[in-house]
A = this chain, B = another copy of it.
């Protein structure tokens, strides 16, 4: 029928993020993705030569997406460190809640081949570097609790990603999955992090 919507590739990427991120890479078949998109499996293999290269593309796009979000938040925020941290968390929180698979995909990386992990690590490197430098400065200025800046980045990442990608953890403590519950969650998460970082 050759509908030629012109966005097949993008649709495939979107569906792939959702499925890889929620079920995991290995548990998602090409047919699953194709079915979700409403297209034949072969069409996927037309746009991406193999499942593995599809994964590459998905990872890269996700990294770019998140990077853009963070970048914008940092630029818009005040220079004061706690405000800046709050801004970043808020910025990440929105897409994370709307599409839990986004961060789920990032987490999935630890399950994948070292190759994929390495590549994503390299891509994230400059952001990490900037964050650690910033934290170190602020710690030196006495505006943040003294700690290893790199580890603080990792810990904050772990906290945000963990809470955003494990709905089971929230269900276990009977947290309401409503809009209000989410806003309160965001507030408590930020309070938690700020308390951990305040001097």
Please report A residues at the B interface, Cβ cutoff 8 Å.
22-27, 104, 107, 109-111, 117, 120-121, 124-125, 128, 132, 145, 147-148, 150-155, 157-159, 161-163, 165-175, 184-185, 188-189, 191-193, 195-198
Contacts and interface: CB of A to CB of B under 8 A. Distances in A.
A197 B196 CA distance: 8
A121 B172 contact: yes
Q: Count copies of this chain in the complex.
A: 2
A175 B157 CA distance: 14
Contact of A170 (B23, B107, B154, B167): B154
Contacts of A23: 26, 111
Contacts of A198: 195
B159 A173 contact: no
